[in-house]
């Protein structure tokens, strides 16, 4: 099998752009040689400075998966310049600029960078503990896995504000970040450190106003809100120009929330779902974020075989002590009650899969998200697992990819900015071996990640125990 080569120059080499590997002279290098050169050149991740926009970069010999569900283009070329895609098409139709850095896919595929539209960047591995000081590590893990956009669906406001601001300023390498800030919950919050709680509907407008002033991208309503509070939250959001996403728990009135005008359900429905409920979601334009991976975590299904922990997207980006804690969690003896709970949640997972397929078939906007981190749900690798679960649920590979690209951008009203391979779109690209349109698992076999037109040095994103301060998890964001 011919292995893809990584970078070469079409003509004379240009000085490297910050964060981009310098093009090489002469013929394409074998992938292994290119990786060694990258390793030798590795240093602290570069930041955006005054050297101007990225030089041209071209992905050649690729099957182009546009992220919009279109028929893949075989033998295609994608050219980006100045951080934007400028040309897409067959090799005979697209001119590669002189001096462009070339990523030769050698028969692999190029697709938009992936989006995980339900994460919580508070660190930890188990869904409740926190490890905020290690933010560089999980931002690196996301980029290493080709995740160029995330929606943080609940966090400490100043913390996620600063992460978003520093990434946007170019001082911190990381994916594009959308944020909800703290959850808006009822009087007895489930996640107190990341929650604004309220006793009555009349107080919700103040929360919405504060969060709008803080620059959040959506409001997140949580399980303690009754129907009146959800309606007030949607109205307050409309007043301040913010959509509302809800997770109302297993007993929430989702039908009322849809009628009120929420943008999306934060999780795929895992209980009975009537045709009339689906029709209402279509009528009101209510989306559903999938998060099948977190149900798989609670069901402990993925933990039955821990071989997946050896996958490079996990092993190369995760501290050993995280993996040790996960292995201990996965192999401990369970009580009869815990076994019954896991079995019951596996039934919920199967129902959620069925519902995702029904929602997709009906025309509901289905958006990929993971709810990472939880045991076995990792920042970065988790979205690849989510895509596999979506295909297991009955979506085609192209539908699953669209859920993590164009549909994600539509959720954030940014479909003219990112999430697709088309001229004018942000040059956030993932180059892989194989063809994910036929085998969704191929998204994991990454050749290159391109962010805003810059070819990232993924070896700079690998976890190093020697360089890592060794921060450990503490406390819990969950109520006792």
pLDDT, one tens digit per residue, over 281-321 is 999 999 999 999 999 999 999 999 999 999 999 999 999 99
Distance of CA 329 to the CA centre of its chain: 25
Report residue 70 as tokens. 């279109």
Q: Which of 31-40, 75-84, 111-120, 232-241 has the lowest mean pLDDT?
A: 31-40
Q: How confident is the model at residue 26 (pLDDT cuts 50, 70, 90)?
A: very low
User: Would you state the pLDDT for residue 200?
Assistant: 85
Residue 29 confidence (pLDDT) above 80: no
Q: Residue 195's closest CA among 153, 249, 144?
A: 153
Kindly write down the DSSP assignment for every residue of 338-359, as one continuous string: HHHHHHHHHHHHHHHHHHHHHH
Report residue 324 as tokens. 């040790």
Q: What is the pTM of this model?
A: 0.90
pLDDT, one tens digit per residue, over 338-354 is 999 999 999 999 999 99
Report residue 326 as tokens. 């996960």
User: Would you state the pLDDT for residue 338?
Assistant: 97
Average pLDDT, the chain: 90
* Percentage helix, strand, coil for the chain under 3-state DSSP, each rounded to 5: 35, 20, 45
Q: Residue 21's closest CA among 97, 101, 112?
A: 101
User: Would you state the pLDDT for residue 51?
Assistant: 54
Domains and CATH numbers, the chain: 7-113+420-461 (2.30.40.10), 114-411 (3.20.20.140)
**C-alpha to C-alpha distance for 98 and 14, rounded to whole angstroms:** 10
Q: How confident is the model at residue 74 (pLDDT cuts 50, 70, 90)?
A: very high
User: Would you state the pLDDT for residue 202?
Assistant: 84
Q: Is the CA virtual torsion 238, 240, 243, 248 positive or negative?
A: negative
Q: How confident is the model at residue 479 (pLDDT cuts 50, 70, 90)?
A: confident
Sequence-distant (6+) residues with CB within 8 A of 174 are 139, 142, 143, 163, 166, 167
Residue with tokens 């120009």: 241
**C-alpha to C-alpha distance for 30 and 63, rounded to whole angstroms:** 20
Residue-level length of the chain: 480
Position with higher pLDDT, 387 vs 11: 387
């Amino acid at each position: 099998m011919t292995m893809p080569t990584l970078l070469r120059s079409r003509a004379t080499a240009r000085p490297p752009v910050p964060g981009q590997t310098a093009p090489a002279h002469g013929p394409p290098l074998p992938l292994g040689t290119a990786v060694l050169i990258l390793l030798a050149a590795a240093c602290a991740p570069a930041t955006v400075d005054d050297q101007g926009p990225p030089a041209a970069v071209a992905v050649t010999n690729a099957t182009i998966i546009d992220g919009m569900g279109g028929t893949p283009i075989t033998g295609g070329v994608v050219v980006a310049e100045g951080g934007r895609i400028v040309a897409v098409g067959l090799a005979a139709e697209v001119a590669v600029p002189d001096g462009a850095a070339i990523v030769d896919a050698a028969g692999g595929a190029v697709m938009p960078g992936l989006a995980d539209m339900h994460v919580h960047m508070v660190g930890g591995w188990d869904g409740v503990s926190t490890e905020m000081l290690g933010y560089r590590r999980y931002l690196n893990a996301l980029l290493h896995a080709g995740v160029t956009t995330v929606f943080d669906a609940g966090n400490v406001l100043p913390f996620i504000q600063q992460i978003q601001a520093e990434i946007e300023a170019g001082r911190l390498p990381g994916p594009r970040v959308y944020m909800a800030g703290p959850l808006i919950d009822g009087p007895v919050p489930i996640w107190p450190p990341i929650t604004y709680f309220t006793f009555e509907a009349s107080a919700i407008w103040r929360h919405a106003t504060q969060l709008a002033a803080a620059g959040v991208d959506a409001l997140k309503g949580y399980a303690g809100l009754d129907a009146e509070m959800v309606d007030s939250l949607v109205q307050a959001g409309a007043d301040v120009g913010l959509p509302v996403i809800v997770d109302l728990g297993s007993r929430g009135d989702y039908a009322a929330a849809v009628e009120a005008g929420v943008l999306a359900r934060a999780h795929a429905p895992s209980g009975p779902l009537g045709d009339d409920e689906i029709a209402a979601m279509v009528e009101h334009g209510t989306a559903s974020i999938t998060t099948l991976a977190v149900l798989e975590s609670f069901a402990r299904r993925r933990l039955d075989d821990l071989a997946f922990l050896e996958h490079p997207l996990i092993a190369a980006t995760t501290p050993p002590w995280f993996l040790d804690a996960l292995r201990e969690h996965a192999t401990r003896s369970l009580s009869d009650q815990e076994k019954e709970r896991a079995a019951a949640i596996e039934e919920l997972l199967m129902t959620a899969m069925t519902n995702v397929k029904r929602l997709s078939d009906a025309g509901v906007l289905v958006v990929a998200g993971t709810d990472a981190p939880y045991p076995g749900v990792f920042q970065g690798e988790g979205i690849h697992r989510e895509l596999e679960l979506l295909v297991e649920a009955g979506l085609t590979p192209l539908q699953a990819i669209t859920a993590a690209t164009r549909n994600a951008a539509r959720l954030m009203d940014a479909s003219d900015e990112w999430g697709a391979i088309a001229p004018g779109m942000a040059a956030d690209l993932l180059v892989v071996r194989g063809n994910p349109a036929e085998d969704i698992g191929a998204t994991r076999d990454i050749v290159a990640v391109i962010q805003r037109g810059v070819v990232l040095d993924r070896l700079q994103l690998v976890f190093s125990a020697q360089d890592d301060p060794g921060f450990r998890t503490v406390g819990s964001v969950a109520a006792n």
